[in-house]
Structure 1
């Protein structure tokens, strides 16, 4: 079989089927998929969570879980590697075919230095001695653009930023000069500028080394920039495939058209200046003492410096910036979850560094929604228990029946079936878990909600649904949002005003339209350029 341009493929997947044995019987995750990629080509596999795109490539690599079974053919340079004995398979995967996973922090061992983790595949698969592997490891860190590689090679994963960890994962994948690089959502958790740097790095390495790249993603903006061909998957099947330009300009399948239309759009209707101020921060600063070792004075690190902001009832303030810019730290300082300098007023009351007695009755009014709902929802509690947990603290007099009634009501409000309340978080999709996290917040009827990257790990279609949900809840309950994100498309669709942060400081602030249409600061212009946003449509949502 040859690819779309008639070149013999390096990797050729034919009629692949993947089935998982579960307590409820067999589940077909991949249904007769054909995908090929040639030397120097980038093929993007796109689709929503559960479409089968990751399982397709996990099967090709022989990495399915114990309850999974794959059938079909996976040809690497003409040899069928599906079902090969482990010893023979290990001469291919990790050496000739390598994979970069979505979250580098879970793929890198926290107990081993970067050098050791880079050297192991070269010693295991490449046959290098330790000295040669160490020299090659340093060269790889230089190749992928790690700053101060001589220092970073001795570091541990937690000492590196998200972008640096992802570069280390790319270096590991390239260690043995592979023919095929499979990248599974490698930029999802990264801010837009780091994301752009990683994509540029992959494109540059591909040109220099000539590897074939399979890029798995739900972000169609990335696909348009990097892919030669696109494969669209839904429910384990390929519903459309072809050259990238053709797929984007003339999508044939309704599902492809839906994915392309999933970008959050519109602008928020303005909130009048006569609305009461809900949160008011003046010259807020947060510093941390960084220990330097025995008998040395700690260094004071200023995570947030002299930030002032005002948010009125019904408004959304978007806080954007790269990882490490201080945006999440600022959000926690506003909620009095971190000690800070400066003043913070909530509904006119000075709560600056207030104690537990003052804050306890206010906590239900000031809520936080986290980036990763799976990590913030207890796996031992049912959804009903998760949603009503706060009521046990703030309304202890409620009966069990009343709490259950409130759980049903709020689950309906976030478009979840109340009958699901007796199930556990692991039984839900990422988008559903985020709705549960929002329901847990909404059951307390708050005034202010700080949303910290609540959509960054979600598919674009699910992101759009969450954005619409948040808009509806805000309009109905006159909620005030502080929305922290590196996803500028979502911020543009939700926010009245935007604060742009860099290294703890505000570099630019103003109305959303002004920031996106005429950014003044070079840093803001770089963020917007890196996001590669579609032009604003000028449609005001809810107007």
Structure 2
């Protein structure tokens, strides 16, 4: 936490960031001042596209090739803007480190976790190979990676999203930095791990005197964790102040909107008289992992163990649990996207074990929206082509004009301008890309959609829009959803039935109101407290450490 009369270690003055695009220059940051004191935690909040991340990318010399920066960014008096790369490399990664939002694009898929953690330790710390490995193992334990010795030999694709994010945090902490810049570092983490990581950062901050600059759209984290806040909109700081002032006495309409953009409402349960569309029982998924070149035999991971559910017409089942709990694997198994055991019946037809060809007639009715729309949307296809791709398979008799009309209608249904259909995915924001992914599923008029973390990377204001959108689509077409998420506030607002998973098993289930308001298992109670009482959880952690 901030210390009285502490030294200013990071000082930004008049930063402007401009990108040259085919449509002309785009000014992403328009003259911003901010600072961070030693030992202080400062949060920068704002919607996607507000420019909050680009400020830090510019200061650290990490702008895209079409970006340009002017202004000043000083670390302990050293000007970083325009600093030669060789000199800048001695600052970033050692004194100033950065955690990025999407670990899968930051971790090298060809290198083991051990090699990727050890590299900054050896470069900046000068440790030997054996000493660097010991430090890497210590860091994995510090960020609560299970079975850390084995995970050192793993590759990024063998870890869950939350585990990959924890690896990124371990890498950033490897050299005991003076300033940690964290860009949405908990987006991919479930609520209990969020609390652990935030508690860990607070502990390390106190121990090392480290300052933290926290870029996030999660205002719950900001309120629990930050000393001061900068609120950004369209490249400008529109409000700044202490966390207490910003949350209790916001002055700007935009800040008030952000604070009010929490998911709200609830979905009434469907009746038992509604037909069962998807009936699953005893679903289990086991992954056989091969051993390394020198480590010998492999091992098995029981990702899902004996899980059942019944999804009725018009119902939304929310599946929650920590990263690695098996909830996403279960969703894929239900749609026969990976091998599994057990029974899965769709509208009276057992589809368990169907291969790709046998499943094809059922695909239009059983759709999936994936967590990362940027990864699931082809960058080489226009939005119109992406949305109508499924129609080529399932409705081949449609003419090109008819497919285009269907794409335009789908875009309207998800709140996007049909005139955007000839653009490419990279030309859209994260929230818009998620709408496109939903449009691709909806255009086929399915009966069941599995939504895998569809709002996890979105601002609260955009999340609220997506929730409203999904409610409207469900009502208009009597759709059934399986909604997989670690964001309990979103599940509470959208689902009428909740399933809580841990280590591949169901620990609790029932109507959403009962599970959230009167949880029976200790694990569910911990989830709820971490989700809705984060400030109290962090305070208790701090008291335990002090004691």
- TM class by shorter-chain length? over 0.9
After superposition, what is the alpha-carbon deviation per residue over 1:444-487, rounded to whole angstroms, capped at 9, x for unaligned?
A: 11111111111111111111111100000001111111111111
Cα gap change, 1:161/1:475 in structure 2, threshold over 3 Å: closer, same or farther?
A: closer
Structure 1 range deviating more: 464-473 or 315-324: 315-324
CA contact (8 A) 2:162 2:188 kept: no
The separation in 1 between residues aligned to 2:310 and 2:263, in whole angstroms, is 25
Number of residue pairs matched by the alignment? 532
In the alignment, is residue 338 of structure 1 matched against residue 338 of structure 2? yes
CA contact (8 A) 2:113 2:152 kept: yes
Structure 1 range deviating more: 378-387 or 134-143: 134-143
Structure 2 residue matching 1:384: 3-state secondary structure: helix
Could you say which residue in structure 2 is the equivalent of 1:539?
A: none
Could you say which residue in structure 2 is the equivalent of 1:15?
A: 14
In the alignment, is residue 257 of structure 1 matched against residue 294 of structure 2? no
In the alignment, is residue 424 of structure 1 matched against residue 424 of structure 2? yes
Could you say which residue in structure 2 is the equivalent of 1:365?
A: 365
Could you say which residue in structure 1 is the equivalent of 2:47?
A: 48
Deviation at 1:242, TM superposition (A): 0.6
CA contact (8 A) 2:269 2:497 kept: no
What TM-score results when the alignment is normalised by the length of structure 1?
A: 0.92
Deviation at 1:308, TM superposition (A): 1.8
Could you say which residue in structure 2 is the equivalent of 1:311?
A: 311
Could you say which residue in structure 1 is the equivalent of 2:376?
A: 376
Cα gap change, 1:91/1:326 in structure 2, threshold over 3 Å: closer, same or farther?
A: closer
Structure 2 residue matching 1:529: 3-state secondary structure: helix
Cα gap change, 1:119/1:445 in structure 2, threshold over 3 Å: closer, same or farther?
A: closer
The separation in 2 between residues aligned to 1:162 and 1:394, in whole angstroms, is 32
Structure 2 residue matching 1:271: 3-state secondary structure: coil
Could you say which residue in structure 1 is the equivalent of 2:275?
A: 276
The separation in 2 between residues aligned to 1:142 and 1:368, in whole angstroms, is 35
Structure 1 residue matching 2:196: 3-state secondary structure: helix
Structure 1 range deviating more: 287-296 or 353-362: 287-296
Could you say which residue in structure 1 is the equivalent of 2:447?
A: 447
What TM-score results when the alignment is normalised by the length of structure 2?
A: 0.91
CA contact (8 A) 2:269 2:496 kept: yes
The separation in 1 between residues aligned to 2:225 and 2:500, in whole angstroms, is 27
Q: Which runs of 5+ in 2 are unaligned?
A: 535-547
Deviation at 1:304, TM superposition (A): 1.8
Could you say which residue in structure 1 is the equivalent of 2:27?
A: 28
Structure 1 range deviating more: 171-180 or 124-133: 124-133
- Indicate the RMSD between aligned Cα atoms, in angstroms: 2.4
In the alignment, is residue 485 of structure 1 matched against residue 482 of structure 2? no
Could you say which residue in structure 2 is the equivalent of 1:60?
A: 59
After superposition, what is the alpha-carbon deviation per residue over 1:468-517, rounded to whole angstroms, capped at 9, x for unaligned?
A: 00000001111111111111111111101001111111111100000000
Deviation at 1:51, TM superposition (A): 0.5
The separation in 2 between residues aligned to 1:434 and 1:251, in whole angstroms, is 30
Cα gap change, 1:28/1:285 in structure 2, threshold over 3 Å: closer, same or farther?
A: same
The separation in 1 between residues aligned to 2:374 and 2:173, in whole angstroms, is 32
The separation in 2 between residues aligned to 1:319 and 1:104, in whole angstroms, is 23
Cα gap change, 1:15/1:115 in structure 2, threshold over 3 Å: closer, same or farther?
A: same
After superposition, what is the alpha-carbon deviation per residue over 1:220-273, rounded to whole angstroms, capped at 9, x for unaligned?
A: 111111100111001110001111011011111111111111111111123222
CA contact (8 A) 1:100 1:183 kept: yes
The separation in 2 between residues aligned to 1:374 and 1:263, in whole angstroms, is 24
Cα gap change, 1:315/1:60 in structure 2, threshold over 3 Å: closer, same or farther?
A: same
Deviation at 1:160, TM superposition (A): 4.2
Could you say which residue in structure 2 is the equivalent of 1:401?
A: 401
CA contact (8 A) 1:4 1:242 kept: no
The separation in 2 between residues aligned to 1:296 and 1:342, in whole angstroms, is 31
Could you say which residue in structure 2 is the equivalent of 1:245?
A: 244
Cα gap change, 1:237/1:325 in structure 2, threshold over 3 Å: closer, same or farther?
A: same
The separation in 1 between residues aligned to 2:323 and 2:146, in whole angstroms, is 16
The separation in 1 between residues aligned to 2:287 and 2:128, in whole angstroms, is 42
In the alignment, is residue 508 of structure 1 matched against residue 540 of structure 2? no
Cα gap change, 1:47/1:132 in structure 2, threshold over 3 Å: closer, same or farther?
A: same
Deviation at 1:134, TM superposition (A): 4.5
The separation in 1 between residues aligned to 2:27 and 2:44, in whole angstroms, is 18
CA contact (8 A) 1:44 1:223 kept: yes
Q: Which runs of 5+ in 1 are unaligned?
A: 535-543
Deviation at 1:329, TM superposition (A): 1.8
Cα gap change, 1:115/1:274 in structure 2, threshold over 3 Å: closer, same or farther?
A: closer
